Amino acid sequence: MRLNDISIKKKLVVIFLLGMLVVVAFMLLNIRELRLIGGEADILSRPRQDTMLLAAEVAHLQWASRVQSYLLDNGETTLEASLDGHTCAFGHWFYGPGKAGLERELPALEPLFQKLGAVHLALHDSAVRLKAAMERGDSAQARRLFEDVTMPLLKQVQEILTEARGEINTSFAGTVEKLRAKIHMTTMLDMGLGTLTVLGCCLALWLLIRGISAPLARLKDHAGRVAQGEFSNVPIRQADEVGQLAEAFNIMVGHIKEKLGMSQGIMRGITLPFAAFDVDCRLIYVNRAMLACWGHSGSPEDYLGRNAGEFFYADPHRETLCDQVMGERHEILNYEVTRENFKGQVKRVAMDVSPLWDLDGTLIGCFTLHRDLTDIHAQQERIAALNERIYQSADEARDISGRQARAFEKLSGQLRTTGDMAEEQAQASLAAADGIRSMVEIMSEVAAGAGRAAGDSKSAEEEAGSGVEVVRETIACIARVAEQTAAVAEGMGELGAHAAGIGRILELITDVADQTNLLALNAAIEAARAGEAGRGFAVVADEVRKLAEKTMQATTDVAAAVRAIRQGVDAGSAATERAVELTRQTTQLADSSGERLNRILDVSRQVADTVAGIAKATEEQAAAGGRMLESIKSISGKARDTTDNMQASDGHVRDLSALSGELKKIIDGMRSERRAEPRFQLRDPYNMHVSFSGRKIEAVLLDVSRSGARLCFNAPAGLEGGETIVLHAEAGPFDAVLAGREARVMWADGPQAGLAFAEPVEGDLEALTRAVGGNRA
């Protein structure tokens, strides 16, 4: 073991023991004198109490160093300092029998120790309060406690311990003087022993100087170099108190290097334009991003030491925000300026300038952080232009939707008119069928009469007369049937004309749907160019395109129904023509029957033949009447089919009208988004809930305006456009304006959704947004 590895206390004990040996030898020679000075020598034989007090002072310095390290680490490490003044090393001695014994020896120390007891406990209690503040997260309060309470109390402890050591040294010095006076009386007798003692003391002094004073001198020199910015370790390798002090000094330098390196690393890691200035507003640090922002060339080191006005404006006498912050001693945030940099580029920059304070609260400079908003504002202008084009497209789509709705109304009116005419046609067909049925019954009676005429030729003339009357009635019925059949044919012609008109309207609706689909495609393309900002319009454009496709599908269904109507009309027209032809044939047969009955009256001899001819013609006429009845029934069936198709077409037209109404609502929703209406974006997440369809889920508010908001859900919420939801804002400040508010979902895309409020929001949204760390978008 080396001499420097032995503690100072042990060294002093060894030196003291050597001195005791000398004293013993001296006592053997001078027993009489030693008896006289025995009382004083007893005091000298005890350990030095001032050394113990010095060790207590050093221990409290180390205690304060550990508390300071705990503060610098922001409470992330364990506080390894004693919090109870009774349990520390000095407390065991001070509150034990050691202090009482020393006070009995030196009564002058009693008032000092009374004062020291209160200050010592207050010092440890300040550490308890400091730790509690750190555990609450109030590091600023903890630092103030350390600076305003702990350090002054530590200084008082040092002062009291220094004063106590002075009292002990004074008492010790008085005892030594007494002994020296007595020893002087025996100096001549013990010259040799005295010389040996002097040599031993010199050796001990040399050893103390070599082991204590020299290392302390080196420690002082290194402390001076650290003050100049050279953070090197003290090369002292010994295990005594001086070595421990050097080790603590090296640990302190390491902490300083770590904190300073962390600060410099943070500054070098900032990618935004950043600069720092001293109290005279001279540049002490600047990164390359700041040089690029303001058009400076060269390296950052070329600009160190320049005035803020010279760096930003090439005018060292111009006042800047740095001068204002240094004068007013408070930060300036979000200060926007638009001007040309030194390369002639127009820049729009938002500046934050804040003062810098040291641990004692002294202003040591300021720093500034710039945000280049040039590209952001250019993008906002492009988005605004895109929104304007989208609004124009929405206006055009709204006009087209209006024309489409009017065309649907016109088509619906024509379909109702056509249905009424088809119903009239069906009624006319039923009336014609009744007439034909009557005619067939008459023909049957004519046939029966002709048979009876053949069996009874004697009553031929009378029966022939009756046959003439019957034929006349038949001709009259046939005439009425012809009139009804002509009316049916005319109705079928008008029905065909109306069906053709419906076809032309359907062509117009198809053109409108094609134009709507094209406008939706253009809006989707423009929204895709806008990127994230146009995503909501992309979803709306997609909904418009889907409605246009539904319109085209419904138009196709109506066209199919109209084609079926026209086919039915064509079939009815053909059946009507056949009925007219059959009526014409029946009329001819009736005329022939009349001629034959006239010949019966004129030529009675040919009664049998004539009656047979009448019977045959009557049978043919009855058969033709049956075929006419079937034709009329077919016409009635076609008229019923036409009525059913008209009703189906009217339903399709109502569907198209409903789709047109939904398209108009979406377009109105697009037009309700005003480009000039301000939106406020939140930087920090604001948590809330929304309820819909019996569900209540969590959401985060991204931005808000008077007419709507944009939300983000933790998971897809399954919302669809047009759905109504209710907002629940439990926390301030938005609970005053959003709690219980109803909104309609305008678009939904994955976890995000855009809302339109049922009623505009009343209140200062900008102030509410700034309260949670947001700003105007």
**Which letter, b or e, does each residue of 555-578 get, where b requires 16 or more Cβ atoms within 10 Å of its Cβ?**
beebbebbebbbebbebbbebbeb
Contact status, residue 745 vs residue 705, Cβ threshold 8 Å: no
Please tell me the distance from the alpha carbon of residue 226 to that of residue 723, in angstroms, as a whole number. 70
In the chain, which stretches have pLDDT less than 50?
Answer: 673-676
Give the Cα separation of 662 and 705 in Å (integer): 24
Report pLDDT for 679: 77
pLDDT of residue 296: 92
**DSSP letter at 4?**
G
Handedness of CA 154, 157, 159, 162 (dihedral sign): negative
Which pLDDT does position 676 carry in this prediction? 46
Q: Which of 163, 167, 186, 187 is nearest to 175 (CA)?
A: 167
CB 276 within 8 A of CB 284: yes
> What was the pLDDT predicted at 703?
86
Contacts by residues 544-547 (CB-CB < 8 Å, ≥ 24 positions apart) = 544/397, 544/516, 544/519, 544/520, 544/663, 544/666, 544/667, 545/517, 545/520, 545/521, 547/516, 547/659, 547/662, 547/663, 547/666
Evaluate whether 388 touches 458 at the Cβ level (below 8 Å). Answer: no
Q: Distance between CA 411 and CA 512 in Å, rounded? A: 14
Domains of the chain: 1-30+190-263 (no CATH), 49-185 (1.20.120.30), 270-372 (3.30.450.20), 381-671 (1.10.287), 677-776 (2.40.10.220)
Q: Which of 428, 746, 460 is nearest to 604 (CA)?
A: 460
Ordered strands of the 346-357 beta sheet: 283-286, 274-278, 363-372, 346-357, 332-340
Are the beta carbons of 618 and 443 closer than 8 angstroms? Answer: yes
Give CA–CA dist 180/491, Å, rounded.
154
557-612 pLDDT, tens digit per residue, is 767 766 776 676 677 667 667 766 766 776 676 677 667 666 766 665 565 566 56
Q: Would you give the DSSP letter of residue 569?
A: H
| Cβ burial 404-431 (10 Å sphere, 16+ → b, else e) | bbebbeebbebbeebbebbeebbebbeb
Task: List alpha helices for 45-108, DSSP H.
Answer: 49-72, 89-94, 97-105
Q: Which helix (H) or strand (E) holds 667?
A: helix 607-672
**What's the rounded Cα separation, in Å, for the pair 89 and 95?**
10
CB of 83 closer than 8 Å to CB of 128: yes
106 vs 170: CA distance, rounded Å: 10
Longest dimension (CA), the chain: 211
Rounded CA Rg of the chain: 58
Using CA atoms, how far residue 61 sits from 54, 79, 245, 553, in Å, is 11, 15, 10, 89
pLDDT value of position 60: 83
Supply the DSSP string of 103-165, one letter for each residue.
HHH-TTHHHHHHHHHHHHHHHHHHHHHHHHHHHTT-HHHHHHHIIIIIHHHHHHHHHHHHHHH
Count, residues in the chain: 777
Compute the C-alpha angle 132/138/141, nearest 5°.
85
Q: CA 44 to CA 182: how far, in whole Å?
A: 14
Full-model pTM: 0.33
Give the per-residue pLDDT at 769.
80
Provide the H-helix boundaries in 294-373: 308-313, 321-328
Distances (CA, A) of 767 to 57, 329, 482, 564: 56, 25, 87, 65
In whole angstroms, give the CA distance from residue 777 to residue 761: 17
Give the span between the Cα atoms of 216 and 244, in whole angstroms: 11
8 Å CB contact between 545 and 471: no
The pLDDT assigned to 117 comes to 85
> CB under 8 Å to 221, separation ≥6 — which residues?
none
C-alpha torsion angle, residues 432, 437, 441, 446 (rounded to 10): 40
Q: 757: part of which helix (H) or strand (E)? A: strand 752-757
Helix (H, G, I), strand (E, B) or coil at 760: coil
AA letter at 219: L
Q: How far is CA 654 from CA 409, 410, 510, 554, 618, in A?
A: 9, 12, 16, 10, 53
429 and 636 Cβ atoms separated by less than 8 Å: yes
